[in-house]
């Protein structure tokens, strides 16, 4: 699954809303020069492709070049850290995703905190899902649970790594179902899907958009999607909630800025993103990339991120996801 995903601006300590570096005097002319967009993951991946697509449309809205800078490493922390140190004037923004932006400060000491984030807008909300091979004897989550209870730890599930949204979803599901699953982490969605195709694991826990190609080719099928409502890309797949398990997990991706960006600039960027998400051309390209769109403005996104932090802090206290 795409590994975490969302919006952020960061710093080593909590920064008040009225950031001392804020350039309020320049807000009226914003932007009058190119804008940099930091992507905390390598070129060519799903996050990078989505970010570059957004950047192309953002250039039209802002009427200035938007230059994508890949700053990969440490699960996204390098890029998020660079974003946190940038001047909060709107000329450096970041493409960020969950759960990494939320979970890393919970797992370890980092150069930023979630409270340092100035959310701009969310763009993508890609729900997680469980995928099995087409000939798997498990047709529903109930089938999987029954087998797991009769065969403790025999069910293996592949994810994109420890602490990924795929992994955390597996932990949440196993706790609710009262079963023990064996986690097998890989370095990316391609390896995770390959592990399923070569029968190395019982199932793959990946984002729905990542499992979609295998399902379309008749190689795999989904036992459920971890959304509040069914994604239109796979409308025949029931949610986990529909099957009795309150598991809602996804990889959210959007834009953020260093804390202290003037409200006028923040709103200018948020409005631009809203228009992009409503743009039929962008929606067509997003559909081609199998990107489930979900726009959230600054306040809505902040509320979402804060809620995720509360949930993940509770999960970490109960079951640290070290393996």
pLDDT in tens, 127-167: 999 999 999 999 999 999 999 999 988 999 999 888 888 89
Higher pLDDT, 58 or 44: 58
CA distance 163 to 74: 12
pLDDT of 27: 64
What percentage of the chain reaches a pLDDT higher than 70? 91
Q: How far apart are the first and last CA of the chain?
A: 17
pLDDT of residue 319: 81
Q: What is the CA radius of gyration of the chain?
A: 20
Q: Note the pLDDT of residue 57.
A: 98
pTM for this predicted structure: 0.80
Determine the Cα–Cα distance for residues 19 and 166; give it in Å rounded to an integer. Answer: 35
Q: What is the mean pLDDT of the chain?
A: 88
For 249-284, the pLDDT digits (tens) are 999 999 999 999 999 999 999 999 999 999 999 999
pLDDT at residue number 182: 95
Least confident of 13-17, 102-106, 109-113, 242-246: 13-17
pLDDT band at 116 (very low <50, low <70, confident <90, very high): confident
pLDDT tens sequence across 275-323: 999 999 999 999 998 899 999 999 999 999 999 999 899 889 988 887 5
CB 6 within 8 A of CB 45: no
**What pLDDT sits at residue 259?**
96
**Tokens 């449309």 belong to residue:** 57
Give residue-wise pLDDT tens across range 2-43.
444 333 333 333 333 334 444 444 567 899 999 999 998 888
Q: Nearest to residue 64, comparing CAs of 26, 40, 42, 37?
A: 37
23 CB burial (10 A radius; 0-12, 13-18, 19+) = middle
Confidence bin at 44 (pLDDT 50/70/90) = confident
Give the Cα separation of 286 and 38 in Å (integer): 20
Contact 131, 204 (CB under 8 A): yes
Domains and CATH numbers, the chain: 24-125+249-318 (3.40.190.150), 127-243 (3.40.190.10)
Average pLDDT rounded to a whole number, residues 229-233:
91
């Amino acid at each position: 699954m795409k590994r975490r995903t969302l919006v952020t601006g960061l710093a080593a300590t909590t920064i008040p809303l009225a950031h001392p570096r804020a350039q309020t005097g320049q807000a009226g002319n914003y932007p009058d020069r190119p804008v940099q967009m930091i992507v905390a993951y390598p070129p060519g991946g799903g996050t990078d492709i989505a970010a570059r697509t957004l950047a192309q449309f953002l250039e039209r809205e802002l009427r200035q070049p938007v230059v994508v800078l890949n700053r990969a490493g440490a699960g996204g922390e390098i890029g998020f850290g660079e974003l946190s140190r940038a001047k909060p004037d709107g000329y450096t923004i970041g493409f960020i995703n969950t759960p990494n932006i939320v979970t890393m400060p919970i797992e370890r000491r980092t150069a930023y905190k979630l409270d340092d984030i100035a959310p701009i807008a969310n763009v993508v909300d890609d729900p997680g899902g469980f995928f099995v091979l087409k000939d798997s004897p498990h047709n529903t989550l109930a089938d999987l649970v029954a087998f797991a209870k009769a065969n403790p730890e025999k069910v293996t599930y592949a994810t994109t790594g420890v602490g990924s949204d795929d992994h955390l979803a597996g932990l949440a599901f196993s706790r609710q179902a009262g079963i023990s699953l064996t986690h097998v982490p890989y370095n990316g969605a391609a390896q995770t899907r390959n592990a399923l195709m070569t029968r190395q694991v019982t199932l793959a826990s990946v984002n729905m958009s990542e499992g979609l190609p295998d399902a379309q080719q008749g190689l795999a099928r989904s036992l459920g999607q971890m959304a509040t409502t069914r994604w239109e890309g796979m409308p025949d797949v029931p949610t986990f909630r529909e099957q009795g398990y309150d598991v809602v997990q996804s990889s959210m991706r959007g834009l953020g800025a260093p804390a202290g960006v003037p409200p006028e600039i923040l709103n200018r960027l948020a409005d631009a993103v809203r228009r992009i998400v409503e743009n039929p051309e962008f929606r067509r390209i997003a559909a081609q990339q199998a990107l489930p769109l979900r726009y959230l403005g600054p306040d809505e996104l902040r509320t979402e991120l804060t809620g995720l932090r509360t949930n993940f802090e509770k999960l970490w206290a109960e079951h640290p996801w070290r393996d």
